[in-house]
Amino acid sequence: METMEMLWSYMQEDMKADRLNNALKNSPLRQKLEKTREYVLDQQKNYKQIEEQVAVDTDRKDALQDAIARAKEQLEALTARYNENPPADADETRELIKEVEKCSRTLYSYEMELRRIQKSAGDAVTRSTAIRNNTAKAKREFDEMKEEYTAMTEDKKKEYAVLRKNADAKAEGIPAELLVVYNTVKKQISPPMARLVGNQCSGCNTSQPSAALRKIDAGNEIVECETCGRILIR
Ligand SMILES: [Zn+2]
């Protein structure tokens, strides 16, 4: 059947165009490009988080410094009171000691917290510097890769257009309904056609029933392999 041979030679060109298109889509450069982009976005997110934490810490640090100053004033006031007006008895002494201890404990806990915040501020600077450097490096790599990829895509896209045009030329004269079947099968399996070798489908090596073989030889209808679904041709 002449039309089937035309479809077969159309398939050769169609597959060439498809292969190039797939290679483009799955190119390692494109995948690396996408990974680098994700990395940059991730780092930017981390950087923002650190900045937010630094802002919170700065506010807290100011509040702590105020609180520490107040606690120190309180301690000084207690000392002054002790000097000017010493406790008259054991009870008053105990009360004063209690107050001093409470005030000292508060002061100590504020100072500890302040130290923790100062340390975490130092860590934040180290981390954000590292992030800034890594992000800048990744961005440079990304830009270079993107340029390379764009150049490569441009060439490949032109190449693809040529291959597609070749395929379209081969499609001329093939009945539209046959191309519809071809494209439907191609969605399931590619390449969508297979030669018979003896009585076997060369796509999946399954022997075809004699009824199917007779139909193929008669050439009046499209016969698909019962196993893999490819359009069969002698
Ligand atoms: Zn098959």
pLDDT at 30: 87
Distance (angstroms) between ligand 1 centre and the Cα of 89 equals 107
Longest dimension (CA), the chain: 125
201 CB neighbour count, 10 Å cutoff: 23
Distance (angstroms) between ligand 1 centre and the Cα of 225 equals 5
Q: Tell whether 51 and 148 lie within a shared domain.
A: yes
Distance (angstroms) between ligand 1 centre and the Cα of 22 equals 23
pTM above 0.85, yes or no: no
> Is 113 part of a structural domain of the chain?
yes
Q: Tell whether 65 and 155 lie within a shared domain.
A: yes
> Is 4 part of a structural domain of the chain?
no
* Residue type for position 213: L
pLDDT at 24: 86
β-pairing, 200-201 with 193-197? antiparallel
How far apart, in whole angstroms, are the C-alpha atoms of residue 234 and residue 221? 13
Distance (angstroms) between ligand 1 centre and the Cα of 234 equals 13
Q: Tell whether 91 and 139 lie within a shared domain.
A: yes
Distance (angstroms) between ligand 1 centre and the Cα of 210 equals 15
How far apart, in whole angstroms, are the C-alpha atoms of residue 65 and residue 88? 35
Q: Tell whether 47 and 116 lie within a shared domain.
A: yes
Q: Tell whether 35 and 151 lie within a shared domain.
A: yes
The domain spanning residue 114 has which CATH number?
Answer: 1.10.287
> Is 8 part of a structural domain of the chain?
no
Distance (angstroms) between ligand 1 centre and the Cα of 95 equals 97
> Is 15 part of a structural domain of the chain?
no
Q: Tell whether 167 and 179 lie within a shared domain.
A: no
How far apart, in whole angstroms, are the C-alpha atoms of residue 159 and residue 20? 8
For 28-80, write each residue's pLDDT tens digit: 998 899 999 999 999 999 999 999 999 999 999 999 999 999 999 999 999 99
Q: Tell whether 123 and 63 lie within a shared domain.
A: yes
For 167-221, write each residue's pLDDT tens digit: 999 999 999 999 999 999 999 999 999 999 999 999 999 999 999 999 999 988 8
Q: How many domains does the chain have?
A: 2
Domain containing 162 equals 25-173
> Is 1 part of a structural domain of the chain?
no
Q: Tell whether 206 and 161 lie within a shared domain.
A: no
Q: Tell whether 164 and 220 lie within a shared domain.
A: no
> Is 20 part of a structural domain of the chain?
no
How far apart, in whole angstroms, are the C-alpha atoms of residue 47 and residue 37? 15
Confidence of residue 140 (pLDDT cuts 50, 70, 90): very high
Q: Quick check: 1 pLDDT over 70?
A: no
Q: Tell whether 190 and 168 lie within a shared domain.
A: no
Distance (angstroms) between ligand 1 centre and the Cα of 187 equals 15
Q: Tell whether 196 and 169 lie within a shared domain.
A: no
Distance (angstroms) between ligand 1 centre and the Cα of 222 equals 14
Q: Tell whether 80 and 35 lie within a shared domain.
A: yes
CB 231 within 8 Å of CB 223: yes
> Is 163 part of a structural domain of the chain?
yes
How far apart, in whole angstroms, are the C-alpha atoms of residue 213 and residue 223? 9
